[in-house]
Structure 1
Amino acid sequence: MKQTIIFDLDDTLIHCNKYFHKAIDAFCNNMNNWFSEYSIGLLEIKSKQQEIDIERVVREGFADTHFSTSLIDTYCYFSKKTGRNKNKNEEQWINEIGESAYAKDLECYPFMIDVLNCLKEQGHNLYLYTAGNPIIQKRKVERVNIGHYFEERVFVTPHKNAQVLEGIIKKEKLDKNSTWMVGNSMKSDIMPAVEAGIKAIYIPGLFEWSYDNVVLKDEYLNSFKTVKSLDYLMDMFLEEQCKAY
């Protein structure tokens, strides 16, 4: 029996968050130096940046400017709080370090190509469903050369939630009984999937983000499986096929 498998992109198939964590660490270290006389610690700076970043994502979705803007807003917040004058050179550096998170060479997760090849050979229908700017996200797909696995079945949206996922399911006329969502985000991938009535596979990311910290209702706890890495999917969906016979 063919299954429909909907993959998330960032931090499921390719690395993403580690570049943002690196940029945040550089930002916080410089902020700590700039505001050293005001007794503002690294933890306070990092917490405020996360707070501002999450508020912006909730309000605007995963726009390509949200990260750099969250860094600038954090800088402005502490400038106002302390009365320290803002500096154009500092603001320019902050913009550059924010943009650097998007400019890194893309690194695929281990077994990505092996898994996609295996699932395609098994005859499953593969979809890609990712958040962000359509131009940037589709360019990522081209750069890692995985577009042929998904063809026209690529969906990019600023917000990932149950309503958007339901829309894709209806548009594509997918059978919920044989449709799966695979992703690293409990908030953006797993919770919307189980709320939409499909199954899900959770692959915890290597880098945590507080935005993803949600608790599923008890009724959904048996609606998803947790695996350690992508390669578990090859045997898992082979087993699904065997169950049909």
Structure 2
Amino acid sequence: MFGRRPVLLFDADDTLWECNVVFERAADDFCAWQARPGLDAAAVRRVLAGIERANTERHGAGAAVFLRSLADCLEHLQQRSATGAEHAHLRRLAEAVLDCRIEMIPEVAETLGALQEKYPLVLVTKGDAVDQWRKIDNSGLRGHFEAVHVVREKTTATYSWLAERYQLDVESTWMVGNSPASDILPALAAGMGAVYVPNDNTWALEHADLDSAADRLVTLERFGQLLDHF
């Protein structure tokens, strides 16, 4: 479809807009609510992290799974079922997550606008499809992309499938994202280049070690620096 033209693939959450920090705020509020003598907020957070990891592996990521994890954690800590009032309070704590509110990362809109004039842009994001499409719509960025894909996970096979689907020349295709685990390492393994734009709020499950000397890996400090490279 795109032939041998350079193509830029983009992650969404924590690359184009803040995502994990919204979850973190809700989690902090939950932990403060459940903390008590002998069980401080940090201890509650460790319990919640284990439950989140298990639920994510079993059910995937997304707002509904996060809300489920909060409820599961409450019931684990209280050793009983959550009451109707507690479920309602959990929904209030997670309101920003459930509403898919967007906090745009600086320089994103103008940078995409400039890149769009020179290259085909493709959005590749993972998570719950309903949540992701709501965020895409809420962001106002849909028009910058020639194609959008929402997938459950981003693996080397995902990027290889995209290369085959759009007949991409992997040597002139670049993946831009904040997640070493989902954006950078699998794209490199598929033969593409990768642009790592770190985000201090990246979800712990997306962390992985990167080799700074890896061939075709570029690390930037800001999203707007893409214009210095493309």
TM-score (norm 1): 0.85
Q: 1:23 is matched with which residue?
A: 26
Report the equivalent of 2:70: 71
Change in Cα spacing, 1:170 to 1:220, as seen in structure 2 (3 Å) is: farther
Tell me, yes or no, if the aligned pair for 1:8 and 1:128 is still in contact at 8 Å: yes
**Alignment partner of 1:10 out of 5, 13, 34:** 13
- Render the CA deviation track for 1:145-184: whole Å, top value 9, x for unaligned: 2222113x10001212222222122111111000111111
Q: Flag structure 2 segments of 5+ consecutive residues without an equivalent.
A: none
Q: What's the counterpart of residue 129 of structure 1?
A: 124
Give the structure-2-normalised TM-score.
0.90
Seen in structure 2, the aligned counterparts of structure 1 residues 140 and 22 have a Cα distance that, compared at 3 Å, is same
Per the TM alignment, residue 85 of structure 1 is displaced from its structure 2 partner at its CA by 6.9
Q: How does 1:1-245 map to 2 (within 5 A)?
A: 2-32=5-35, 36-37=36-37, 39-80=38-79, 86-103=82-99, 105-121=101-117, 123-151=118-146, 153-216=147-210, 221-237=214-230
Change (3 A) 1:4 1:229: same
Offset of residue 18 of structure 1:
1.6
Following superposition, the deviation at residue 222 of structure 1 comes to 3.3
Give distance in 1, aligned partners of 2:140 and 2:166: 24
Query: Would you say the 8 A contact 2:197–2:222 is kept in 1?
Result: yes
C-alpha distance after superposition, 1:97-146 (max 9, x if no partner): 2343232641211111211111112x211000001222332232222222
**SS of alignment partner, residue 9 of structure 2:** strand
- Structure 1: stretches of 5+ with no match in the other structure: 238-245
**Partner AA of 1:70 in structure 2:** S
Q: Which amino acid aligns with 2:165?
A: K
CA apart distance, 1:10: 0.9
1:63–1:158: 8 Å Cα contact kept in structure 2?
no
Measure, in 1, the Cα distance between the counterparts of 2:213 and 2:84: 49
Are the counterparts in 2 of residues 71 and 94 from structure 1 also a CA contact under 8 Å? Answer: yes
SS at match of 2:195: strand
Q: How far apart are 1:95 and its partner, in Å?
A: 3.1
- Alpha-carbon contact 1:72-1:95 (below 8 Å) kept: no
Whether the 8 Å CA contact 1:60–1:158 is kept in 2: the answer is no
Tell me how far apart the structure 2 counterparts of residues 126 and 171 of structure 1 sit (CA, whole Å): 15
Look up the SS of the partner of 2:183 in the other structure.
helix
- Kept in 1, the 8 Å contact 2:75–2:81? The answer is no
